[in-house]
Chain A
Amino acid sequence: MKVLILTSGVPFIRGGAEILAESLRDAVCVAGHQAEIVALPFQSCPPSRISEQMLACRLLDVTETCGVRIDRVIGLKFPAYLVPHPHKVIWLLHQHRTAYEFWDHPAAGDLIHYPEGPVVRDAIRQADRALIPEAEAIYTLSANVSARLRRFSGIDAEPLYNPPASAMLFYKDSAKDYFFFPSRINPVKRQWLAVQALALCREPVRVRFAGEADHEAQRAECVRSVRELRLGDRVEWLGMVSEQQKRDEYANSLGVVFPPVDEDYGYVTLEAMLSSKPVITCADSGGPLEFVVDRVTGLVADPTPESLAQAMDTLWADRRSATAMGEAGRARYADLKISWETVVENLLR
Chain B
Amino acid sequence: MMAQTRGLRILIATVRVPFVDGGAEAHATGLRNALLEAGHRAEIVSVPFKWYPPQCILDQMLACRLLDLRAAGDTPVDCLIGLKFPAYLIPHPNKVVWVLHQHRQAYDLWQQPMGDLHRLPHGAEVRDAIHRADAELLPEARRLFANSRNVAARMQTYCGIQAAPLYHPPPDAPKFHGGAAEEFLYFPSRLNALKRQRLVIDALAHTRAKVRVCFSGPDIDPGYHESCMALARRNKLRSRVEWLGTTSEEAKRDLYARCLGVVFPPLDEDYGYVTLEAMLARKPVVTCEDSGGPLEFIAHRETGLVSEPTPQGLADAMDELWEDRDNARRWGEAGRQRYSDLRIDWGTVLEKLLQ
Give A contacts to B, CB under 8 Å: 2, 4, 10-13, 34, 36, 38-41, 43, 45, 49, 52-53, 55-57, 59-68, 70
Inter-chain contacts of B48 with A (CB < 8 A): 4, 38, 60-62
Could you tell me the distance between the alpha carbons of A4 and B70 in the complex, rounded to whole angstroms? Answer: 27
By the criterion CB–CB under 8 Å, are B72 and A70 in contact?
no
Given contacts A10-B72, A11-B72, contact A56 B67 (CB under 8 A): yes
Tell me if B1 counts as interface (CB < 8 A to partner A).
no
Interface string of B50-89 (1 = CB under 8 A from A): 1000001001101110111111111101000000000000
- Give the bracket for the number of chain B residues in contact with chain A: 20 to 34
Could you tell me the distance between the alpha carbons of A225 and B71 in the complex, rounded to whole angstroms? Answer: 33
Given contacts A11-B43, A12-B9, A12-B41, contact A65 B68 (CB under 8 A): no
By the criterion CB–CB under 8 Å, are B72 and A12 in contact?
yes
Report the 7 A-B pairs with minimum CB-CB distance, sorted nearest first: A56-B66, A59-B63, A59-B59, A56-B63, A11-B72, A52-B66, A43-B68
Inter-chain contacts of B74 with A (CB < 8 A): 45
Could you tell me the distance between the alpha carbons of A12 and B75 in the complex, rounded to whole angstroms? Answer: 10
Task: Pick the most buried of B16, B18, B71: most chain A CB atoms within 10 A of its CB.
Answer: B18
Inter-chain contacts of A53 with B (CB < 8 A): 66-68
Given contacts A52-B66, A59-B62, A62-B18, contact A40 B77 (CB under 8 A): no
By the criterion CB–CB under 8 Å, are B19 and A61 in contact?
no
By the criterion CB–CB under 8 Å, are B66 and A36 in contact?
no
Inter-chain contacts of B68 with A (CB < 8 A): 41, 43, 49, 52-53
By the criterion CB–CB under 8 Å, are B18 and A38 in contact?
yes
Given contacts A4-B18, A12-B43, A56-B63, contact A62 B72 (CB under 8 A): no
Given contacts A13-B72, A65-B17, A65-B19, contact A55 B9 (CB under 8 A): no
By the criterion CB–CB under 8 Å, are B71 and A43 in contact?
yes
By the criterion CB–CB under 8 Å, are A62 and B77 in contact?
no
By the criterion CB–CB under 8 Å, are A65 and B50 in contact?
yes
Could you tell me the distance between the alpha carbons of A189 and B18 in the complex, rounded to whole angstroms? Answer: 37
Given contacts A40-B47, A59-B59, contact A65 B72 (CB under 8 A): no
Tell me if B45 counts as interface (CB < 8 A to partner A).
yes
Nearest B-chain residue to A215, judged by Cβ: B74
Of the A-B pairs whose beta carbons lie under 8 Å apart in the complex, a sample of 5, sorted by A's number, is A12-B73, A52-B68, A53-B66, A59-B59, A61-B50
Could you tell me the distance between the alpha carbons of A177 and B69 in the complex, rounded to whole angstroms? Answer: 47
Inter-chain contacts of B47 with A (CB < 8 A): 40, 60
Tell me if B11 counts as interface (CB < 8 A to partner A).
yes
Tell me if B222 counts as interface (CB < 8 A to partner A).
yes
Contact for A45 among B9, B19, B41, B71, CB less than 8 A: B71
